[in-house]
Structure 1
């Protein structure tokens, strides 16, 4: 078991986050920034990977999917590993794996190598957020958990703002290798910072590890998400490479659900779902992540494939979303300490829905003022949605339940992101595959017939290839193709918009009365924190 002192003793925690909490927060935020920035940086680099490695979009998308699969596999183990080895040791190991994986990614000379190294990155990145949430929630105490979540929201802000811009600039100014090399100095600084800032681990003999649960849950999540993520490449659920791993994964995960109520200390404690607030908050977050994150990954793709923007310009055009979130997230954090989230989150979701609707109407020449304004409005809503929902999920847990609760939240978030990304990619790919074919025109590599969508996207090339395509096919064919591609994106965004509206159903059940925090229930009358079992 791991024993740590609560930041709050027997009395009331100070209203503000003190210097010690902020020092620890700096380590956690730095690690989270690396992890989240890496996801958004890679999202704008996918067209570059297609060109550099001569691969399809569905293939290069595995550079993101492989990372997510590793996250989903390792997150369930993080609670037990923290219990066994201590949060400081484990957090530093996660930082090292992520940084080492980044360095290896920069050396990849094939798409398969890059995917493999991204998996190694994910093994480290998967532990950063649940461990960070656990460390910070305990350090801040229940009275300050809303402001704490606002601090942890900083990476959520910097991801949408800095990731696409940084990735676009590095690719345009240097090459794609630098989107990974940039993590090396940041990772080294974070490791040194963690060594000095995080409190020393005081470990005792750990609980028995749930090997049976691990053999069901981790492989089950990995194979289930592998099948789901294979959908864009396969194009249909009927292919064995899709439904076989999905079926095997689903059987293992369902088996774990029934098994997890038997052992005293299961790998993932589903008994926590007896807490109504945790259940409602995690369901709300799960549906929201499927809708918003899935479609959100396609926003940069619209600017790249329809509007022909460079990766840097696509990143800059995404910045209003992060700026909007930057304005509302600190306010939402303070409000969630005072006002029940059930009274604020629906208004934030309404902003997201209003902004999202614009993208269901996109065309090949939709005004950038309208699009950037919509992204800004969505950012305002996002800043008032994600962190308050997470606050609601963790606020009524006891001190020793926080690690298990944050693990549940992170697993559902990763599954939701994977499912959302796969579903949106399948819909977009299916729409693009229906584009009219050009008689007599074939792809020289694949020998497949070329469509007006292929020609339109390829015409954005700034080099000789783009000029040849424009000369060979003429403006009418290219205009037809751009209209078709824009319509394909709009149809996909309609699905995302409907899912956003569906999110209003679970958030309608979020608490509308002040929640009673149990985070100090493990502190005795003398103000001494009881041993905290991290599982």
Structure 2
């Protein structure tokens, strides 16, 4: 793709699909790794002779690093260019993967997971912004509908992949499996992904905002995680300090004369505010359900990680089918219609899980998950398309970072909140474990209703149609 030959206005050609495939490899690698390690927790507990409370930081440390990294993605892409930032993120992620595989103690593994999470947090936001910039507003919706399905598939196939690896190989291969994917993505990107030049106006890094936002989110998620584990003092301290830091960031973002890391005013501008609410709550619903169901399958039904992953697979299949529908209709159907329909399907697919204590059969669970997956594919891509097609190209990296941050934070906070609810209901319902899980799924329904309220404020009309932006030749950064 050359600078003087802009892509056709609406046609998604082979070259654009190739670029999308390359960039989605990075997102797939990062999002898959967030769940693939979960099935190896028991193995890691035995390997390092540590308690469950200690080994859970292998997952929590990665999650906190992702939350800390996402806000900086926009500034990095503005400063160094989209492709260069994306390639650097792949490199950091692979370095963290190699280090994790060579860990000699649980402390070293947690530190290396943080390094891995810093790279993994940058990949989805940077990749989406780069792809939207290459595609241009007229083609963004159709190509994003394909890319957006990856985060929905990863939580489903992560346990399957992890279980398969551990059945034939030692635990370091949970991390080494990233190497061929990452190296292939980097080599292909160097050759085929065009270099989007950095922003013309280089703004200084918002250091004060970074010191408030990323650590504030990390501390807040940490506090919620401690609530789930019943540790009152660190939980209270984490929640108070995290909320105070986020409040301080909001005040700073409104008062600063420079460019804040994430502009709080973005959330007051339609349709960004409604889109942000929808993605925030969708993240809580998707990742919260992916936390609850495997736990229910294994604790109440005695399934292995592999069996639980198989029963979750219909959600991934439904998401894949939904993405095909969205790809064909996103340029013809009003975004709000797609999103509201998707949320209704998610509600319909979630409602049966409130009745787990009635002995819901596997076939009903599989059907409900397929409906949920189909609905989820109809939400993420149209919401991102609304924002990406209505924002200036130079603002895409920061907007993408903000949306991915909200989705990540929604998943983190939603999962932690549902863990607290589940713990409470297990105590109240003991020994009726299915009833406790059923009670907790009423909260998931509540999340979906909040998302529906936000979706009603999305635009009724289709996206604005413009030609794609001119890009720098491949050989330049």
8 Å Cα contact 1:44-1:301 kept in structure 2 = no
Structure 1 residue 97 displacement after superposition: 1.3
Q: 2-side partners of 1:49 and 1:147: how far apart?
A: 41
Name the stretch that deviates more: 261-270 or 137-146: 261-270
Show the counterpart of 2:167: 172
- Taking only aligned residues, the RMSD between alpha carbons, in angstroms, comes to 2.7
Counterpart for residue 148 of structure 2: 153
Tell me if structure 1 keeps the 8 A contact 2:137–2:464: no
Where structure 2 has 5 or more consecutive residues not aligned to the other structure, the ranges are 473-477
SS in 2 for 1:221: helix
**Larger Rg: 1 or 2?**
1
Q: 1:67 to 1:362 in 2, by over 3 A?
A: same
Shift of 1:38: 1.1
* Cα 1:433/1:48, change in 2 over 3 Å: farther
Query: What SS does the corresponding residue of 2:387 show, helix, strand or coil?
Result: helix
Q: Decide whether aligned partners of structure 1 residues 270 and 519 sit closer, same or farther in structure 2, where only a CA change above 3 A counts.
A: farther
Residues 59 and 347 of structure 1: is their aligned pair in 2 closer, same or farther, counting only changes over 3 Å? farther
Which ranges in structure 1 are unaligned for 5 or more consecutive residues?
437-480, 531-535
Q: Which residue of 2 aligns with 1:379?
A: 373
- Encode CA deviations 1:171-207: one digit per residue, 9 max, x unaligned: 2333433222211221222222222223346557832
1:340 counterpart = 2:334? yes
* Alpha carbons 2:165, 2:174 under 8 Å: kept: yes
Instruction: Please list, as runs of the form range in 1=range in 2, the aligned pairs for 1:489-504 lying within 5 A after superposition.
Output: 489-504=437-452
Q: Match for residue 225 of structure 1?
A: 221
8 Å CA contact 2:227, 2:420 repeated in 1: yes
Residues 258 and 403 of structure 1: is their aligned pair in 2 closer, same or farther, counting only changes over 3 Å? same
Aligned to 2:101: 106
Distance apart, 1:273 and its partner CA: 2.8
Q: Would you say 1:278 and 2:272 are equivalent positions?
A: yes
- Aligned counterpart in structure 2 of residue 425 of structure 1, from 419, 424, 427: 419
Higher helix share: 2
Pick from 57, 63, 69 the counterpart of residue 62 of structure 1: 57
CA distance in 1, matches of 2:427, 2:108: 28
Query: Which of 116, 120, 123 lines up with 2:115 in the alignment?
Result: 120
Per the TM alignment, residue 107 of structure 1 is displaced from its structure 2 partner at its CA by: 3.1
2:331, 2:462 within 8 Å by CA — same for their partners in 1? no
The question of whether the paired residues in 1 share the 8 Å contact of 2:314 and 2:367 is answered with: yes
Between the aligned partners of 1:60 and 1:360, the Cα distance in structure 2 is: 31
1:132 is displaced (CA, Å) by 0.4
Return the match for 1:81 from 76, 80, 84.
76
After superposition, residues 109-508 of structure 1 pair within 5 angstroms as 109-200=104-195, 202=197, 206-234=202-230, 239-261=232-254, 262-363=256-357, 366-433=360-427, 484-508=432-456
Question: Which sits farther off after the overlay, 485-494 or 136-145?
Answer: 485-494
Cα distance in 2 for residues equivalent to 1:36 and 1:269: 26
Secondary structure of the structure 2 residue equivalent to 1:266:
coil
- The number of aligned residues is 470
Q: Distance in 2 between matches of 1:412 and 1:111?
A: 30
Say which of 14, 29, 33 aligns to 1:34.
Answer: 29
Mapping for residues 14-29 of structure 1, pairs under 5 Å:
14-29=9-24
Aligned pair in 2 of structure 1 residues 416, 220: CA closer, same or farther (>3 Å)? same
Question: C-alpha distance in 2, partners of 1:46/1:492?
Answer: 24
Deviation at 1:431, TM superposition (A): 3.4
- Range with greater deviation from structure 2 (127-136 or 285-294): 285-294
In the superposition, the TM-score normalised over structure 1's length comes to 0.81
Q: Is the 8 A contact 2:228 2:419 kept in 1?
A: yes
For residues 518 and 272 of structure 1, the distance between their equivalents in structure 2, rounded to whole angstroms, comes to 22
Question: Comparing 101-110 with 279-288, which one deviates more in the overlay?
Answer: 101-110
Secondary structure in 2 matching 1:362? helix
Deviations 1:109-144 (A, max 9, x none): 544433322211110001101110111001111111
Taking a change above 3 Å as real, the CA distance of residues 503 and 47 of structure 1, as seen in their structure-2 partners, is farther
Normalised by the length of structure 2, the TM-score is 0.90
The answer to whether the Cα contact below 8 Å between 1:277 and 1:510 also exists between their aligned partners in 2 is yes
Please state how far the C-alpha of 1:360 moved relative to its aligned partner: 1.3
Task: Please state how far the C-alpha of 1:318 moved relative to its aligned partner.
Answer: 0.8
Structure 1 position 372, deviation (Å): 1.0
Cα distance, 1:7 vs structure 2: 9.2
Q: Contact 2:17/2:143 (CA < 8 Å) preserved in 1?
A: no
Q: 1:278 offset after TM fit, Å?
A: 1.1
Change in Cα spacing, 1:63 to 1:432, as seen in structure 2 (3 Å) is: farther
In structure 2, what is the equivalent of residue 94 of structure 1?
A: 89
